Amino acid sequence: MTAPSALPAATLLVIDDDADIGQAIQNGLELPGVELTIHTATTASLGLQQAKHYRPNVIILDLQLPDMDGFAVFEELRRDAQLATTRVIMLTAQDSMANLWESVDRRLDDFIAKPLDLIELEARVYSQLLKAGVLPAV
Amino acid sequence: MPHRINAILSRVITRFGHWLERGVVWWRRRGRVWRCLGATVVAAVALAANLTWPNRLGQVNNYLLWWLLVVALSWVSGMIAGLWATLLLTLAQYRFFMVVPLPLAGYVNLGLFMGVGSVSSLIIGSRRLEEPTDRLTPMLHQLQEGVVITDAEGIIKYANPAMERMCGANLAGRSATSLGSGEGNAGADPLQLAQALRQRRVLTNRELDWESGNGSRVVALASIMPMVEAEILTGAVITVREITDRKLREEQKDQFISIASHELRTPVTSLKLNAQRLLRQAVKQGAAANERSALESIKRQADKLGHLVRNLLDVSQLESGQLTVRTRPLLIDEYLTDIIERLRLLTPRRSLEVQGALDGEVVADPDRLEQVLTNLVANAVQHSPEDSLITISLTPEPGRVVVGVRDEGEGIERTKQVHLFDRFYQVGSGGGAGLGLYIAKQLILQHSGTIWVSSEPGAGSTFYFSLPRVQVSAAARRNVRIKS
């Protein structure tokens, strides 16, 4: 990771109370032509700490966290000027369309329903990195 | 000859009885105020007659005549109007103005007259036509089902013990329109009794859910049968069958499905992500074919499981009424072209053809509409042979658009067609949980559309759904452009 590379680098943070999912994304998510660093957190408070520390380009945020509602975490992130450009993808439950629409209403960048599909997640992360200007537009 | 006379007489008496009964029933249907007014008119006529022909009859006969009048009025008009008639007729009998200078014997007479009149009113007038006959009462007492008998206005005249147990309260005299509603919304008429009485229509199996007097929840199915005698509505019989236990079990089952699918979601996600990762690694590292096929199988099954979990979550939401559609105006042609392109990926080794074209706009939830079409196409793929043709037909009809999905599969027997859209129903053992068509139907219903099937065994099946075409305002149309 520390070796100099010509590839554009991107940092991701996964905040999900299930450590397995964080790990699966950390080990599995690959983007062609991108040097990815993925951090994981299992609680909202840990997630916020890490977000401030690493300043990730994209945060994948679970709606249901043990210590805080995902939307509240999002508000907290948006209050931090240094994280203003961070893109947030909300993981929502398929059974709560209301949450899904709330994600839209609250101007979240994207949302994706569980159970996740790796390819779908990769595509969405890629699209957010493009929009954030981390990757050069083709 | 005497036989003929007898026959004619008995026919006349029967006829008279019939008309008398009709008249009495009709009169009893009037409000209490009307019945009292009627009694007043009769008393006024009696007073006029008494003033016109004073003491035409002997005193005793006179009393008898007045008592008969009181009894008849009480029988016809009920207790309250009967008592009112007694009072008025007493005053009429003593010609009002004579009450004051009456000798002692006159007061005794007056007291006697009023006493007998009042007692007969209380006894005769309180007898109700609607009460069950004595022979039926013990049977109704024994019934496990609740039975309620109301008058034509829906006031409860009788409720059997099973019914009173269910309500935890004494019901007689209360309005049956409050049956099944909570304390807060009394009069909401969840039974729709008022409507049933007005239209004289039989209503069956209306589900009621209320809190009984002792605070426990009661769920029951009620049926209403209006009673009509000689074309006059006399009241209604309401039967109520308690299904609380069954309902609670059903709710527990739905809750279980909901919890189970929620809990399954996270492990399934983990399974899917890891299977995909391992498969990728295996491909990169050139793993043996059998290893790869094992991983592919894990991934395929995990995908299936994920699909099932999504369907179960949809079902539990549909059951609890939480699934809502967010509709907006859609340009149907553009929208469907877009979905059909994506559906081609879902139909490997089948050709997907589109027939017809649609224009104009429908109001729909784009995500849910795609789900419906995906379910129908997936269903067609599942039930048709490889290399066959799946046709999506688009037909404009007055006021609606009809979309059809035709396959060249085995077709469905007519007896099975009626159950196709039931929850968990499966045709044959083709796999799947029997949820796709159920969900499709529920979603289309939420769009105010209809869904149906046309199929012959051996000749394939076509599933159709329709969506109402809606006149869209210019503002909404602008909105579509902005959104798209």
Least CB-CB distance to B273: which of A21, A97, A101?
Answer: A21
Q: Searching chain B, which residue's CA lies closest to the CA of residue A30?
A: B277
- pLDDT for the residue numbered B97: 53
CB contact (8 A) between residue A114 and residue B265: yes
Q: Among A80-84, A126-130, B30-34, name the one with the lowest average pLDDT.
A: B30-34
Give the chain A residue nearest B317 (alpha carbons): A95
Residue recorded with tokens 């109402």: B468
Question: With a cut of 0.85, is the ipTM above it?
Answer: no
- pLDDT tens string, chain B, 484 residues long: the values are 566 777 787 778 777 777 776 777 677 767 778 888 888 888 788 777 777 776 654 455 566 777 777 777 777 777 777 788 778 777 776 665 565 566 777 777 777 777 877 887 777 766 554 445 566 777 888 888 999 998 888 888 888 888 888 888 788 888 888 787 764 444 567 778 888 888 888 888 888 888 887 778 888 899 999 988 877 888 899 999 999 999 898 888 888 877 877 788 888 888 888 998 899 889 889 888 888 888 888 888 888 888 888 888 888 878 777 777 888 888 888 888 888 888 887 777 888 888 888 777 888 888 888 889 988 988 888 888 888 899 999 888 888 889 999 999 888 888 888 888 888 787 765 566 788 899 999 999 988 899 999 998 888 899 999 998 876 555 454 444 444 3
Structure confidence at residue B480 (pLDDT): 44
Q: Hey, are the CB atoms on A95 and B314 less than 8 Å from each other?
A: yes
d(CA A21, CA A63): 14
Closest of A69, A25, A27 to residue A48, by C-alpha:
A69
Q: How many CA atoms lie within 13 A of B479 on its CB side?
A: 11
Instruction: Please provide the DSSP assignment of B345-386 as one string.
Output: TT-TTSEEEEES---SEEEE-HHHHHHHHHHHHHHHHHTS-T
* Residue A123 contacts B where some CB pair is shorter than 8 Å: no
- Contact of B39 with B125, CB cutoff 8 Å: no
Return the bridge partners of A113, or none. A92
User: Tokens for B323?
Assistant: 């699934």
Q: Judge contact between B258 and B313, C-beta under 8 A.
A: yes
Structure tokens at B373: 């079409």
The three-point CA angle B326-B329-B334 to 5° equals 115
Burial of B447 (0-12, 13-18, 19+ CB in 10 A): buried
Exposure of B405 in the CB half-sphere (CA atoms within 13 A)? 25
CB spacing of B310 vs A18 below 8 angstroms: no
A118 in reach of chain B (CB within 8 A): yes
Q: Rounded distance, CA B242 to CA A46, Å?
A: 53
Q: Quick one: B429 exposed, middle or buried, by C-beta within 10 A (0-12, 13-18, 19+)?
A: exposed
Residue tagged 């080794």 (tokens): B349
Residue contact A24–B268, C-beta within 8 A: no
Task: Tell me what pLDDT residue B431 has.
Answer: 60
What is the pairing mode between strands A58-62 and A87-93?
A: parallel
**Of the partner residues A93, A97, A115, the one whose CB lies closest to the CB of residue B268:** A115
Residue B331, classed as helix, strand or coil, is strand
The number of C-beta contacts closer than 8 angstroms across A and B is 68
Query: Which residues of B have a CB under 8 Å from any CB of A?
Result: 258, 261-262, 265-270, 272-274, 276-277, 280, 303, 305-306, 309-310, 313-314, 316-317, 322-324, 326
- Residue-level length of chain B: 484
CA separation, residue A123 to residues A112, B279, B315, B459 (Å): 11, 18, 29, 41
Inter-chain touch A93–B313, beta carbons under 8 Å: yes
B313/A94 Cβ within 8 A = yes
What SS3 state is found at B256? helix
Cα nearest neighbour of A121 on chain B: B273
Distance between CA A41 and CA A22 in Å, rounded?
A: 7
Phi then psi for residue B451, to 5 deg, are -135, 140
pTM of the model: 0.55
* Closest-CA distance of chain A to residue B318, Å: 10
Query: Which of A18, A93, A117 is nearest residue B272 as measured by Cβ atoms?
Result: A117
CB pair distance less than 8 Å for A21 and B270: yes
Cα–chain center distance at B154: 17
Which residues in chain B are closer than 8 Å to A118, comparing Cβ atoms? 272-273, 276-277
Contacts of B303 in chain A (CB under 8 A): 117
